[in-house]
Amino acid sequence: MRKGVVFAGAAVVLAACMAAGLMVGAAGLPLKGVLLALADRLPFVSAHSGLTPLETGVLFELRLPRVLLGAMVGGLLAVAGAGYQGVFRNPLADPYLLGAAAGAGLTVTLVIVAVGDGAAVPLAAFCGAAGGVLLAYGLGHTATRGGGTATLVLAGVAVTSFLTAIQTFLQQLKVEELQRVYAWILGDVGGGWEQVAMCAPYAVVAAAILLLHGRLLDVLSVGDDEASALGVRAGRVRLVVLVAASLATAAAVSAGGLIGFVGVVVPHAVRRLAGGSYRVVLPLSLLAGGAFLVTADLIARTVLAPAELPIGVVTAFVGAPFFVTILRATRKVET
């Protein structure tokens, strides 16, 4: 019953954040009108919202895809972060740990510098993020027999440094394109329905795999020997979770850019509030991550209105102090 109340509360918070994201902006929309307009789009339902054609266009062409994309990207980053933390048994593990950010940054920079086609950026980001993770995993797996988690982390650091160096070199060749590169790096969830449609299939698959492995991650948390005694193949579970978390990260990066701290802050906050079981942490992180990023995007587009603040700046303002708090708490536990 307690778990049901927690999940219901998280779902209500997410719904409230999404409703605020739909209503608040340069053009304010009434809650009743928004709800009736959404209901009118349901099969076999007819409702008069009272919204003007302009307000209807703002709702369905600007606000709704932006809120859905923000919830999707935030949820993916948070659930991927929880998955990585379960695999590496470290609350500081991040969705960009294995070179996803560096790979995406390099391919996006390459597309902007060489092609100049903004439409190709999401696909380039997805391929780069997936490629960076595959490169780090391949390097970590071949460096030592079996490729333990510590080796994977070191391989991720090496791959990140190498790919970032190449990205910096490309940026220096085309200084005039720096603004476009940094605009993508700082994050944006205003891509529209095309981005939502591109991200959704990967989001469903990755999230489903991660949620189904919550119990197995709980078993792994007691140790590999104990897990083996219970019939759990630790290496296989880690590989599947890493692949799913990396797929979620790549999808989020391709749709929203490099938005930091969501994958660290949200799972840790959930763990502090609801306990350490990954059967609870994973789904709650999915819901809380969506609510967090929708709220961050709402702040980003209203705090300096009519100008818009990059969403990555907002998440960094909140996430950086929280990350320091996590680090200090972790050190106290270790000592």
Region 194-201: mean pLDDT is 90
- Residue 144 pLDDT exceeds 80: no
pLDDT at 146: 53
C-alpha of 6 from chain center: 22
pLDDT tens figures, 44-53? 888 888 899 9
pLDDT at 122: 86
**Of the candidate ranges 10-14, 246-250, 273-277, the one whose mean pLDDT is the lowest:** 273-277
Helix (H, G, I), strand (E, B) or coil at 266: helix
pLDDT at 298: 94
- Residue 107 pLDDT exceeds 80: yes
Q: What percent of the chain has pLDDT over 70?
A: 94
* Contacts of 150-156 spanning 24+ positions with Cβ under 8 A: 152/88, 152/98, 152/242, 153/88, 153/97, 153/98, 155/98, 156/97, 156/98, 156/99
- Smallest CA-to-CA distance from 257 within 249, 245, 266, 265 is with 249
Answer positive or negative: Cα dihedral of 69, 71, 75, 77. Answer: positive
DSSP label of 232:
-
C-alpha of 321 from chain center: 19
pLDDT tens figures, 78-89? 999 999 999 888
43 cis-preceded (ω within 30 degrees of 0): no
Of 330 and 210, the structure prediction assigns the larger pLDDT to: 210
| Calpha distance 115→67 (Å, rounded) | 30
- Residue 121 pLDDT exceeds 70: yes
Region 141-155: mean pLDDT is 71
Per-residue buried b or exposed e for 290-305, using 16+ beta carbons within 10 Å of the residue's own CB: bbbbbbbbbbbbeeee
Region 192-208: mean pLDDT is 92
pLDDT tens figures, 299-333? 999 988 788 889 999 999 988 888 777 667 665 55
With 0-12 CB in 10 A as exposed, 13-18 as middle and 19+ as buried, what is 64? buried
pLDDT tens figures, 59-79? 999 999 999 999 999 999 999
- The full set of domains in the chain, from first to last, is 2-334 (1.10.3470.10)
Q: CA end-to-end span of the chain, whole Å?
A: 36
